[in-house]
Structure 1
Amino acid sequence: MTNVLLIDDHALVRAGFKAILEGEPGFTIVGEAENGESGLRMARSLRPDVVICDLHLPGLSGLEVTERIRQSMPELKVMIVTVQEEGPLPRRLLDAGAHGYVVKACERKEFIHALREVSLGRRYLSASIAQRLALESVNAPKGKSPFDSLTARELEITRMFCLGRRAVDIAESLSLSPKTIATHKTRLLAKLGVGDLVSLSRMARAYGLFDPNVE
């Protein structure tokens, strides 16, 4: 039996995962969380076999959750299920130790297949993501993405700024102080060699860091 923990901030999405897994033999949902912080606490106490995690969460991002799980609980396997297909995040998540990366638009059959593969310790990528990763060096301007230099937290803050979020709102969402957000902003702009948020947004769009139509 594979014990599964769900981490997604949308109750309807979690309900959908539960409906799918309850009809499949071999899986048991041992818990569900609506943000990264509570998800990590549950992972530590419940020790599931697989954590199904959204990428964009309030507070800790899916990338940060993956990094912390793999650092402190390396036996746990993480499968990211998200709408984000483009940009450096799929590669960063794989580098962080995620076993699977599946798009939410996938069919039920693929979702179950991916989960079974991940539960066995194998890597699984949706076909569209695997193709993008294979072609990223060709498609990305100047090859390697400059966003590879950012930390998980800086990537999440960058995404929020590019989606038009105000610093005070980002601080509240991530449970940080506005001063901390300002410090992150200064550092990430310096790392990327841009002078303002407009230039940052243009660069992020060019490298597929975020989809302006999806928050």
Structure 2
Amino acid sequence: MKEVKLIIIEDHTMVREMWKILLTPARGFIILADCGGVTEAKKIITQMKADVIMLDINLAGDSGFDLIPDIMHYAPGTKLLVVSMHSLASYAKKAMRMGASGYVTKNSTNDELVDAIREVANGKKYICKEVAALMSGDAPPAGDDSPDINNLSSREIEIVQFIKKGKSSKEIAETLDLSLRTVEAHRYNILHKLKLKNTASLISYISKTDIGI
């Protein structure tokens, strides 16, 4: 079996270390480099040639989506596997539209992650079972005036997830170590981007939308 050369872009050190334990030469993987931020990632992808880049969507202070165009430009022959905490069909579709070859969530098993890496390394597309199940039940595309979750930033998605759990702005602020004013600003922006009038309409919308928890 040909060894698969990897670059890991993930902002949590513990997750990177766990993947290093899993993705060993004995399993057929070589990790060329790993990093946790966009600036360092841009340097690595221009200097090293990998078979597969594993990219998290939530990076420290940045969105992994913003890095995808650079990966497509500077590493055109490298396959991209997005590994995210978000169980969102809309996120998977967006990543694939931007050029990713696969999308798996951090709820996926180790075996599924290994399978996903090998599949995309071999030129195939891969969507994890969890998200594939959501996509198979998708409704027809909404009209232009309908709310679109893709308009939200990673931080806004995170706040929406807390709102879905019934958390107050104060509780969200304490959990995310943000000021109450910042959380309220995010909530206002969420309503504006989704073209919703109030929190009640937001709760109604997210109850019918595949916002992963």
Smaller-chain TM-score bracket: 0.7 to 0.9
Greater shift, 54-63 or 197-206, is seen at: 197-206
Q: Which of 2, 10, 23 is the equivalent residue of 1:8?
A: 10
Residue 69 of structure 1 aligns with an amino acid whose one-letter code is I
Q: Distance in 1 between matches of 2:203 and 2:126?
A: 30
Identity between Structure 1 and Structure 2 (%): 23
> Normalization by structure 1: what TM-score?
0.72
How far 1:30 sits from its partner (Å)?
A: 0.8
Call closer, same or farther: CA 1:129–1:210 in 2, change over 3 Å. Answer: closer
Give the structure 2 partner of residue 58 of structure 1. Answer: 60
Deviations 1:36-79 (A, max 9, x none): 33223211222322111222222222222224312443222111
Q: Using the alignment, how far apart are the partners of 1:210 and 1:80 within structure 2? A: 16
Q: Let me know the Cα RMSD of the aligned residues.
A: 3.4
Match of 1:175 in 2: none
Work out the CA distance in 1 between the residues paired with 2:109 and 2:25. Answer: 15
Q: How many residues align?
A: 196
Partner of 1:158: 156
1:174 maps to what in 2? none
Q: Which has the larger radius of gyration?
A: 2
Matches within 5 A, 1:132-147: 132-137=134-139, 146-147=147-148
1:108-163: per-residue Cα shift (whole Å, max 9, x none)?
3222221111112211111221121121117x9x689732662xxx4324224434
Q: Does 1:43 align with 2:45?
A: yes
DSSP 3-state at the match of 1:137: coil
CA 1:133 to 1:71, structure 2 compared with 1: closer, same or farther past 3 Å?
A: farther
Deviates more, 1:195-204 or 1:101-110: 195-204
- Deviation of the 1:99 alpha carbon: 0.8
After superposition, where does 1:21-36 map in structure 2 within 5 Å? 21-36=23-38
> 3-state DSSP class of the match of 1:93?
helix
TM-score normalised to the size of structure 2? 0.73
The equivalent residue for 2:133 is: 131
